[in-house]
Amino acid sequence: MADLQNLLRQAVAQLQHASVPSPRADAELLAGHVLGLTRSQLQLKAVTGMEVSDDDAERLAGLLTERARRIPLQHLTGTAPFRRLELKVGPGAFIPRPETETVVQAALDELIRLESAGVRRPRVVDLGTGSGAIAAAIASEHPSAEVHAVELSAEAASWAELNFAHLPSGSAEVTLHRDDLRNFPDGWEAEFDVVVSNPPYIPADMVPQDEEVRVHDPELALYGGGADGLELPRAVITAAQRLLVPGGWFIMEHAEVQAPALQQICRAQPQLSQVSTHQDLTGRDRATSARFAVSSEPESASRTG
Ligand SMILES: C[S@@+](CC[C@H](N)C(=O)[O-])C[C@H]1O[C@@H](n2cnc3c(N)ncnc32)[C@H](O)[C@@H]1O
């Protein structure tokens, strides 16, 4: 048997030595994963002198060795928290980030606005769904929506499929389209009230420093194409204009430095109006939204009922 407090102290030192960015959090989360405890339960057990069995200590040691090799924490625990969900993640899928939760909130606000305007079953599509994070969160938090998700990578789509199959009861079902967002709709032109996307947007020469991202997030999920990384974000704007009903709305995540360029690109589209930049929780400009072809007809007339 080993003292949990001592094990944690050694674990933090080991991860610090390996330059893991958040050694204490990661040590506690890995120990909690092995012992079946939340982080706060684990902290309580540590100060009250919990003893850890040799088997569990060995399992933790194995995970710490992997983490010290900079395997992402989420690949070791097999899950990533995202809004109210614990998503299943692993190699082949982009690990969902906290800033994307803000993008989901903006999409949910638009869905609430639509429903109060009489749209009973707003239809939403997540372009480049990865693990399914955005679509799954919307399906669980706005069950009256009809939710679709598009993903090009077969590996990522398998993670999304798994997450869509294990949504909390009462969630909307999500329809997964294994497709290129540049070609999708396949019969879905002018069918969506909301388009939401966190596309790849990193410029080719801005290779991420963190090994967890550089080595373990798929390249298809990171690099947006072109010197400015905006090829895919541009494709999302084009796709949104194909997919949205008149009066429909889209929001897209991007890097902070790309906000002015994306504002300009959207403002240059005669069919787009109400172009807005959205901040993440740390106040950085991390998403752009716009409304499509506002007509004199009632908004989303085809979907009202
Ligand atoms: C930055 S990741 C975001 C994943 C997820 N939406 C999230 O926020 O966690 C971008 C995703 O877009 C997918 N993707 C890249 N190019 C695509 C394309 N042309 N068509 C569809 N999906 C694409 C990638 O495979 C990846 O899953």
Dist. CA 1 → ligand 1 center (Å): 45
**Of 261, 206, 200, which is closest to residue 235 (Cα–Cα)?**
200
Q: What's the CATH number of domain 81-303, 3.40.50.150, 3.40.50.450, 1.20.1640.10, 3.40.50.720?
A: 3.40.50.150
Pocket flag, ligand 1, residue 95 (CB < 6 Å): no
Atom of ligand 1 nearest to the CA of 135: 6
Atom of ligand 1 nearest to the CA of 153: 25
Q: How far is CA 272 from the centre of its chain?
A: 25
Task: Supply the DSSP string of 78-136, one letter for each residue.
Answer: SEEEETTEEEE--TTSPPP-THHHHHHHHHHHHHHHHHHTTBSS-EEEEES-TTTHHHH
Residue 303 has pLDDT above 70, yes or no: no
Residue 292 has pLDDT above 70, yes or no: yes
DSSP assignment, residue 258?
Answer: G
Q: Whose CA is nearest to atom 13 of ligand 1?
A: 128
Beta-bridge partner residues of 82: 85
Residues 152-192 pLDDT 10s: 999 999 999 999 999 999 999 999 999 999 998 778 999 99
**Of 195, 93, 198, which is closest to residue 148 (Cα–Cα)?**
195
Thinking of the domain 2-69, which architecture would CATH place it in?
A: Orthogonal Bundle (1.10)
Pocket flag, ligand 1, residue 152 (CB < 6 Å): yes
Beta strands (DSSP E) in the chain are 2-3, 51-52, 79-82, 85-88, 123-127, 146-151, 174-178, 192-197, 244-253, 272-279, 285-292
Residues 70-102 pLDDT 10s: 999 999 999 999 999 999 999 999 999 999 999
pLDDT for the residue 300: 43
- Return the residue matching tokens 């995970």: 63
Pocket flag, ligand 1, residue 153 (CB < 6 Å): yes
Tell me how far apart the alpha carbons of residues 145 and 198 are, in angstroms, rounded to a whole number. 19
What band does 295 get if pLDDT is binned at 50, 70 and 90? low
Least confident of 12-26, 175-189, 263-277: 175-189
Residues 211-244 pLDDT 10s: 889 989 999 999 999 999 999 999 999 999 999 9
Beta-bridge partner residues of 197: 127, 252
Per-domain residue ranges of the chain: 2-69, 81-303
Mean pLDDT score, 39-61? 95
